[in-house]
Amino acid sequence: MMESGAHFCNSCGEQVGLDANGEVFVACHECYFPICKACFEYEVNEGRKSCLRCATPYADRRKDNDDAKVYGNQSTMAAQINVSQDVGLHARHVSTVSTVDSELNDEYGNPIWKNRVESWKEKDKKSKKKKSAPKVENEASIPQEQQMEEIQSSEAAAAEPLSIIIPVSKTRLTPYRVVIVVRLIILGLFFHYRVTNPVDSAFGLWLTSIICEIWFAFSWVLDQFPKWYPINRETFIDRLSARYERPGELSQLAAVDFFVSTVDPLKEPPLITANTVLSILAVDYPVDKVSCYVSDDGAAMLTFESLVETADFARKWVPFCKKFSIEPRAPEFYFSQKIDYLKDKVQPSFVKERRAMKRDYEEFKVRINALVAKAQKTPDEGWTMQDGTSWPGNNSRDHPGMIQVFLGHSGAHDIEGNELPRLVYVSREKRPGYQHHKKAGAENALVRVSAVLTNAPFILNLDCDHYVNNSKAVREAMCFLMDPVVGRDLCYVQFPQRFDGIDRSDRYANRNTVFFDVNMKGLDGIQGPMYVGTGCVFNRQALYGYSPPSMPKLPKSSSCCCCPSKKQTKDVSELYRDAKREELDAAIFNLREIDNYDEYERSMLISQMSFEKTFGLSTVFIESTLMENGGLPESADPSMLIKEAIHVISCGYEEKTAWGKEIGWIYGSVTEDILTGFKMQCRGWRSVYCMPLRPAFKGSAPINLSDRLHQVLRWALGSVEIFFSRHCPLWYGFAGGRLKWLQRLAYINTIVYPFTSLPLIAYCTLPAICLLTGKFIIPTLSNLASALFLGLFLSIIITSVLELRWSGVTIEALWRNEQFWVIGGVSAHLFAVFQGFLKMLAGVDTNFTVTAKAADDTEFGELYIIKWTTLLIPPTTLIIVNMVGVVAGFSDALNGGYESWGPLFGKVFFAFWVIFHLYPFLKGLMGRQNRTPTIVILWSVLLASVFSLVWVKINPFISRADSSSISQTCISIDC
């Protein structure tokens, strides 16, 4: 039985191999438990002399070590012969942290770079063997039959998938696809009718409407087709625990580094940031696997002092959360819940401890608010710390890098004596004359700091106002990232954004429900959702610019590339050439693609020079980039890591490197999230959309009109910047052929949607023009034309209804999204387009300022805040013009008799379509007590009046012949 077929070791997974006699190696002759010679020797050296399965003592099979010694000598000789020729590369190493790392060779003359690679491999092998070797002493006391059953059950549980795909039911998806195709056909017939039937009496209006409608149809195609294959996913956290958290063993879950970014504590309240940090520290995950990095890009002493208070309060809050399994674990939002907190709580001490914790939190809030009140006025001499020294960040634009570790895995314990996760304060260096790239630069600094200090294989980034609402959110993500099948080519897991504090009707579509519950589900069925800036768990290797381990073969047939094939093959030479074409510009050697070399030869291919040009002059950081499973390199000196971390956040570290160009968060747009995700997926990576029943993260959104418009303006401006950059999806990333076509359509839609504002504002002006002039953009309808118009409206309604069925979105959310698409289109998107053109052509950076008024001290009081901003003028003007047009149209109909009421119906319907879409804007503009800023009304009335007077003066729809006849008629009248 042992001689037939290949046998694999149950510890390391390699082939068992042969013994000295050429026969299959057998360690235990009782149960024939398959184990290779290397693992057998490891077990013997560790003092385990019994079989892992049946606990029978091993026979005396100690091998002579001569072969190993010879192999070691050969390795040393080969290392001495193949000494790297790049002598003197480290002469320009500027780090002052580790003097040993800056030397080229070790004491035996071997290249230190090559030795490090070998030491990492040996360390990985030992760790894998340690993970796979159970405790023999415990197994010896368990009966063999019971032990076998436990092994089989554990193996069966480990073999089950950690997540599954739940496709949308065909009964819902098939009609949806059919209606999309039918709507395309109707659109084709509709445009054929519109183009072949011009309106001669209003040719300008007709031509304008045709151009606008063609663009709207193009935008609909870009938005609709990426939803062609929506899917849902389900995770199994219990299977994850059964596979990686076995009783009696150390947890094998991967470590995670949390990133929290903040800039101005006066605009981003420290109490909100503190709640975000507390929810991270109390997350349901092994404490030694969690590290929280807070980036203070404003170098504010208020942020630093608030983190000191937060770290102190965490010693009480974290054990309370874990003891009673409360949700959410952000104290502000937990204590503000209007629920029965005694429900499902059986511990008698819960009520007493909860009241005590609430008192402690109220005292914590008082201390934080006192710090905020103190920071309102900066002293003339600047802030000073408790020891009397000046705060290094008094000048937020010129200060050194600062790092402070508040909590850690060793030495920092809660009130019950348990360890706490690591909490690190980071403020990168800033100097005049350097480009710091705002949030993207701060995130890249956190990537380097975390790689030096903890180097977790996965990174979760959150905004300072987004707290962990589901303590098991990290485990949800690990069900994808740690799955050996799904996680292999996964660059990130994106969670939907959910928000607190929004009015029930969601007047300005702050929840973005249609985008997060419809569009993102559709993208998940193609190549994965796009990165939306927060609530995302990254694979660190993907951020470093590497390609996925198994890149798909370039398609040669004409089949649709949006549907992945079930069987894919790899051609090594073709993949290697493809990788070089795309990535050698960034000087990154993807060692996974070279399958024809053994491990020793792979290490010889690493170029120290190319890594420094790519990642910067930090040997410790470069070593960490090659450790796929995370962890600190053995050569790192723990006492010098802080100095090295300070070095990697210096303002000149990124100069002449690939940071922001090919690796990390990508620069060039205020919406760096779209660029970063786009670059990863162009390399062939996939992403996953995770929607747990309990929302993973929750944040706050600007609920008043002005703030909401400025948020949309920033997003739209970022899209326009990408459109004019080299990363535009219209032309970037075609060489590799790794971005699927439907995915590319989705990215194109994210960068061209602001330009819809130009035809949209023209289309919203047409009803008023038609009513004021008596003209219309559509000729007299025939029966065929009426059927086409009816079919088009029905297809729009049916598409929306079917979309609601498979997505679960409500009609109100869909209507709010439609309304704000018009509101944002005629205001924020329009200004973003002009600002983008000014920035591209003239280098002018225009800022639109916002001035706030006081809000009512009631629930949703902020909803009624009115802030003056230029963005309010265009939609206000459109409302006034269309209202004036409706009044003028009814006046003409009353004077014109019965026959004029028929043509009036279409024009008035058109005008009311605009008014209904702008109704939330009008309601927000009026506020609770009609407190609209006077300047908004004045500007809008002035523009509407000027427009009307100019129109009456020009009157372009009356021909010269008509005007001459009218003048002659007037002359012949006898006054």
**Would you please indicate which residues are annotated as catalytic (active-site) residues?**
297, 673
Question: Strand locations in 371-524, DSSP E?
Answer: 402-407, 422-427, 458-463, 467-468, 490-494, 498-500
CA 30 remoteness from chain centre: 54
In three-state secondary structure terms, 8 is strand
Tokens linked to 372: 């905020």
Question: Strand locations in 464-621, DSSP E?
Answer: 467-468, 490-494, 498-500, 536-539
Cα–Cα distance between 630 and 614 in angstroms, integer?
19
CB-count exposure of residue 724 (10 Å: 0-12, 13-18, 19+):
middle
Under a CB-based contact definition with an 8 Å cutoff, are residues 54 and 28 in contact?
yes
Q: Tell whether 463 is in a known binding site.
A: yes
* Alpha helix (H) residue ranges in 782-900: 783-807, 811-825, 828-841, 873-896
Beginning with the edge strand found earlier in the chain, give each strand of the sheet holding 498-500 in spatial order: 467-468, 697-700, 498-500
Q: Tell whether 438 is in a known binding site.
A: yes
- Name the nearest CA neighbour of 224 among 183, 165, 190: 183
Q: Tell whether 297 is in a known binding site.
A: yes
Q: What value, to the nearest 5°, has the Cα angle with vertex 566 and ends 564 and 572?
A: 85
Tokens linked to 958: 């009356």
Q: What is the DSSP string of 542-562?
A: HHTTPPPSSPPPPP-SSS-TT
Cα–Cα distance between 351 and 360 in angstroms, integer?
14
Question: Strand locations in 498-591, DSSP E?
Answer: 498-500, 536-539
Cα–Cα distance between 820 and 814 in angstroms, integer?
10
- Name the nearest CA neighbour of 271 among 219, 306, 234: 306
Q: Which amino acid is at 617?
A: L
Q: Tell whether 430 is in a known binding site.
A: no
Q: What DSSP element (H or E) covers 224? A: helix 203-224
Q: What is the DSSP letter of 99?
A: T
Cα–Cα distance between 758 and 735 in angstroms, integer?
32
Query: Do β-strands 697-700 and 536-539 pair in parallel, antiparallel, or remain unpaired?
Result: unpaired
Tokens linked to 435: 């480009």
- First-to-last alpha carbon distance for the chain, in angstroms, is 123
Q: Tell whether 439 is in a known binding site.
A: yes
Q: Which amino acid is at 510?
A: N
Q: What is the DSSP letter of 202?
A: G
Q: Tell whether 472 is in a known binding site.
A: no
* Residue at token pair 């065909």: 170
Angle, helices 811-825 vs 828-841, to 10°: value is 40
| Longest pairwise C-alpha distance within the chain | 133
Cα–Cα distance between 423 and 413 in angstroms, integer?
12
Instruction: Characterize 795-814 residue by residue with b for buried, 16 or more Cβ atoms within 10 angstroms of its Cβ, and e for exposed.
Output: beebbbebbbbbbebeeebb
Q: Tell whether 268 is in a known binding site.
A: yes
Cα–Cα distance between 314 and 635 in angstroms, integer?
33
Residue length of the chain = 975
Tokens linked to 291: 């590290």
Angle, helices 757-773 vs 828-841, to 10°: value is 120
Q: What are phi and psi of 827, to 5 degrees?
A: -130, -80
Angle, helices 919-926 vs 901-917, to 10°: value is 60
Q: HEC states along 164-187? A: EEEECCHHHHHHHHHHHHHHHHHH
- Name the nearest CA neighbour of 546 among 577, 579, 508: 579
Binding-site annotation, residues for UDP-alpha-D-glucose: 261, 267-268, 297, 438
Residues contributing to the annotated binding site: 261, 267-268, 297, 438-439, 463
Annotated binding-site positions for Mn(2+): 439, 463
